[in-house]
Every structure is written in C-alpha cells, then in structure tokens.
Structure 1
Amino acid sequence: MQQVRVLLLPFILALLVLSNYAHAAPKSKLWPMWDKSDEANSAKIDHQDWQSILTKYVVQKSYNNLFRYADVSEADKALLEKYLSDLTQMDPRDYSRSEQFAYWINLYNALTVKLILDEYPVKSITKLGGFMSFGPWDEDVAVINGEDITLNDIEHRILRPIWNDSRIHYAVNCASLGCPNLSNEAYDGENMEELLTAAARQFTNSPKCLLISDNTLIISSIYDWYGSDFGDDEQAILREIDKYRDGKKLEGWSGKIKYEYDWSLNQP
C-alpha cells in the first residue's frame, strides 16, 4: 500500500498543478523589445487571407460564432500557413501602433485556429500542449525577428501591457464556447476601434458573459482571471460590464457572484 501511495504521488501533484493553473492567469508584464512603432509609416498590413478563412468557416449560431474546423480544406489550411508565414516574416515594429494592434490580435487568433486544425478532432483546446500542460499557451508557436513567441507572450507580454485596453479580452479567442467570439472580420488599423467595441457589446450582452439565477450572478471567469484589467474590485468590474451591456445595470449587485467558463471547442 505504501508503494502504491508513492507511485501515485507524482500524478496527484500533477493534477493539483493543473487545477491551480486552470484558475490562474499570467500577469501583464511588458516584453520591452516590442514596445516600438513607426508612426510615420502609413503602410497597411494585408489580412485578406485571414479574412477569406473567416468568411468561409465562421458561422453564427445564436450568440456564438462557431468555427467549422471539420470542413477546412487542404487548400485553406495552406492559405492559413501562408498567412502566418507572411505575418511572422515581417517586423511589426516597422508599422504604426494601430496596425500593430490588429497584427497581434489576428496573429493570436490565426495561430489558435492552426493549433486546433493540427490536432483535430479534439474536444477542447485544454487537451493540447505537453505533459503537465493545461492547453498550448506556453508552447512556442511562432518565430518573429528570431524570437520564439508563445500565445501567452502575445496576450500578456505584448497586447495587454502595451495597449492597456480591457477590450483585448473580447478580441483574442481561445477556441472555446466560453470565450468571447472569434470575430468574422479580420482586424485592421482602421476598423480596430469599431470591432473592439462590437466584440465587447456582443459578449457582455450574451449568456456567456453573465446569467442571473435566484440571488446569484454567474459571470464569465475572464473577469476573475483578469479582474485587474477591468477594475479594482467586483463593483468596478460590474461597472465596466455595464458600459457595453444593454438593459438593467449590474453595478450595486449585492447578491452572490459565481464565476464559470465553458472550455468546449467552439465548433458547430
């Protein structure tokens, strides 16, 4: 019996680590080399290949935008590879801040779709990644300017600290039903503001963001994981949600608050 306990201990510890990881999120911490831009450069980054894929495979069902992973053709997989190759071979710092903002969001979302396609069929993105991993977010997924880049690098070391905009959480997509929707429009330097606000409104007005059950307010775990990006306390977070949500305001809620998230794959 003692030998069995010893053999099981590493697995128990692994489960505890994964459990804690699932309820934690990296802090916003700047990667200084990416904090540069050329505002004099009026050039636009071409996202048409990504738009072509979104147009063909993103379908709307009720309040969800779903991606038809099972239907992606080999030609479109190659198109996605080409798009990612084009992005990773350029230096985003050569462009304006607005073009960079769109670049990093589109890159994050396109890389996430590729990760799913590479392993499809899969029930959840959390099943990807190496041993002891909760998903692929710390895996190297691109090389830009000779630097290995992970999805966590893009979100937490580039997007969040440079732009300091809580709507980033409505724009980057983790291929899950609980996540704010994958936009059916590619971001670009000109539509950024409009699409970010539309993403915030779409999410905060959906059951994915919140539900009220008796005296309990059930809200998305993104407000737990990234609470500091939305406000200093729960009332501030509710006030931030109220900015985009229609109907009765949440600020002043005095009942229970519970956080939930659905990691099921965002497919039809």
Structure 2
Amino acid sequence: MIFRLILASALAALSSPAFAQDDLHAPWGEILDAYLSRGPDGVNRFDYAKLRETPADRQTLESYIAALEATDPDSLAPDARYAFWANLYNAATVRLIVDEAPERSIRQIRPHPFAIGPWGMELVTVDGEALSLDDIEHAILREEYEAALVHYAVNCASIGCPNLQPEPWRAETLQADLEAAAREYVNHPRGVSVTGDGLVVSRIYRWYREDFGGSEAGVIEHLLRFAEPGLNEEIRANPQITGHEYDWSLNRPVNEPE
C-alpha cells in the first residue's frame, strides 16, 4: 500500500507540465551515487548486495523504472529519447541482478535451459509493449542511433562491459558523454591490449563488428578514433587484431565475497 501511494505521487509529479526531463532521471542518479564506485582496476563496480538489503532504495529503483514505463518516449526529443532508453536498460539490468542474485555472472539468469542469459526476458513495459533488454538495445537504440556508441551506453553488469557511468545519461551532454565513455573503454586493457604480436581487443568488437565498419579495418579505425596518443601510436605500429577477450564476472565490489 505504501509503495502504491509513493508511486502514485511520483507519477503525478511526472504529469506536471513543470516537470523537467532531467528530474525524471534524478532517482537513478541517487542510486548510482549510493551504490556505484570506482574499482582500483578502473572498472566501475555496483554494490548489488547492499542495494538488495536496502528496501527504501529498492523502492526508489522500482518507482524510477515505473516512472519511465509511464513516459511516452516518442514525445521526447531524439537525445532525450536516447537517454531514456539507455537509462532504462541500465536500471532494469541492475534491478534484475538485485532480484535474481546470481553468484558469479548475469549469464546464470536463464529463462529456459537453452538461453545464454536474460537478455530475451521481458523486463519492462513501455507504451503498452513488453520489452526485453535485447529489444531496447538492438531493436531501438542500435536501429535509431550511431550503433557503435550504443555499446558504451548500456551495461550488462559484467567486468568486460564498458563501465556503468556514475551519472545518468542526459540529453544536454549526451554526445560528449558517449564519446568520453568510448575513450575510457578503448584506453582500458579490457578494450584494447597491445602485445608483441598485435592487439587483443574486447569481444564486443567481434560480436558487433557490423557496428564498427564491418571489418577488422573498421574496428581499427574506430579504436584509433578514441585511443589516446600513446595507444594510438601503438595501434598504428601494428594494426592487427590477434585475439578477443571478455570477462563475464559480475561488476560487483572487489571485496564482496562470492
């Protein structure tokens, strides 16, 4: 009953003409501020266990997702719509991990024995349509926007993924923030590592090669776009991809017991 009253109040506030779109994502910012931290390895870690044990903040997350579900994304300007979908994807993923509590990896959450993970599960309902994480990422974001940068916007709760950012995506700073996230990942070893034989890169650049030019040369061009000067020089010296890696371990705090 208390939850319904709080949710009704939140939705009423959202219906106000004076309600700013930035305010829509304020609760998600509060969750990120409270539970996301920078790991010593440069990977942003989310404390799912702590959120799981904090009913008030779990309710905040539920209310936030419900508020997004009650919003018509087609009424938003393009950058605001991008922020809407990317934030919804990330919030729904966090809720999924909190609810299901996998021990090691998001891929342990399987709706059926043949599933490779939870990405096909319908987790949210927007404008009357039940949607999965795959729907949001592949049928909406990658279709409507620059597909390469979408991979830096959505987070799959894994070490190998580009960081879950410490602030919600915002329309006003969207392009700059996406490019900053891309630079952060490309210049981290899980994005690109230079070896004596060439480059070991994230499997993202193999799984979604079509988003990065459709070829190894296209991937190299993308990496050079965001590589800092030192790494840029090393890539140019031997622009050959010799391997792909990805760590599916949960992006939880390093001191959290398994």
Normalised by the length of structure 2, the TM-score is: 0.84
Cα distance change of structure 1 residues 120 and 57 upon mapping to structure 2, 3 Å threshold: same
Q: 1:129 Cα deviation (Å)?
A: 2.1
Q: Tell me the equivalent position of 2:206.
A: 224
Question: Matches of residues 92-107 of structure 1 in structure 2 within 5 Å?
Answer: 92-107=73-88
Q: 2 CA distance for matches of 1:115 and 1:225? A: 23
List per-residue Cα deviations over 1:30-83 (Å, max 9, x = no partner): xxxxxxxxxxxx952510000000011110013100001111111111100000
Q: Give the letter for the 1:133 counterpart.
A: A
Q: Is residue 68 of structure 1 aligned with residue 41 of structure 2? A: no
From 30, 34, 37, the equivalent of 1:59 is 37
Instruction: Give, in whole Å, the separation in 2 of the partners of 1:162 and 1:251.
Output: 32
Please tell me whether the aligned partners of residues 216 and 257 of structure 1 are also in contact (alpha carbons under 8 angstroms).
yes
Q: How far off is 1:213 after superposition?
A: 2.8
Does residue 253 of structure 1 match 2:238? yes
Q: Which residue of 1 aligns with 2:60?
A: 79
Provide the residue aligned with 1:26 in structure 2. Answer: none
Residue type of the partner of 1:114?
R
Q: How does 1:1-268 map to 2 (within 5 A)?
A: 44-45=21-22, 46-61=24-39, 62-72=41-51, 73-131=54-112, 132-246=114-228, 247-249=230-232, 250-251=235-236, 253=238, 255=240, 257-268=242-253
Taking a change above 3 Å as real, the CA distance of residues 160 and 121 of structure 1, as seen in their structure-2 partners, is: closer
Q: Number of paired residues? A: 227
The answer as to whether partners of 1:143 and 1:149 remain within 8 angstroms in 2 is yes
| Residue 10 (structure 1) aligns with | none
User: For residues 152 and 182 of structure 2, what CA distance do their matches in structure 1 show?
Assistant: 6
Unpaired runs of 5+ residues, structure 2, are 1-18, 254-258
Distance in 2 between the 1:218 and 1:232 partners? Answer: 18
Deviation of 1:108 after TM superposition, in Å, equals: 0.3
Per-residue deviation, 1:253: 3.0
Q: Deviations over 1:124-169 (max 9, x none)?
A: 0000021211110000001111111010000000001111341110
The CA RMSD over aligned residues, in Å, is 1.6
- Which range moves more in the overlay, 161-170 or 87-96? 161-170
Q: Aligned partners of 1:254, 1:181: CA distance in 2, in Å? A: 25
Structure with bigger helix share is 2
**SS of residue matched to 1:143:** strand
Q: Which amino acid aligns with 1:119?
A: E
Output the CA distance in 2 between the equivalents of 1:207 and 1:248: 11
User: SS of the residue aligned with 2:171?
Assistant: coil
Q: Secondary structure at the match of 1:166?
A: helix
Letter in 2 for 1:86: A
Structure 1 SS opposite 2:21: coil
Answer whether contact 1:43 1:95 (CA < 8 A) is retained: no
- The answer to whether the 8 Å contact 1:57/1:68 transfers is yes
Cα deviations by residue, 1:17-37 (Å, 9 ceiling, x for unpaired)? xxxxxxxxxxxxxxxxxxxxx
Change in CA separation of 1:254 and 1:49 when aligned onto 2, cut-off 3 Å: closer
Moved more, 62-71 or 169-178: 62-71
Percent of counterpart pairs with the same letter? 39
Between the aligned partners of 2:82 and 2:111, the Cα distance in structure 1 is 29
| Structure 1 spans left out of the alignment, 5+ residues | 1-41
Further displaced range: 199-208 or 241-250:
241-250
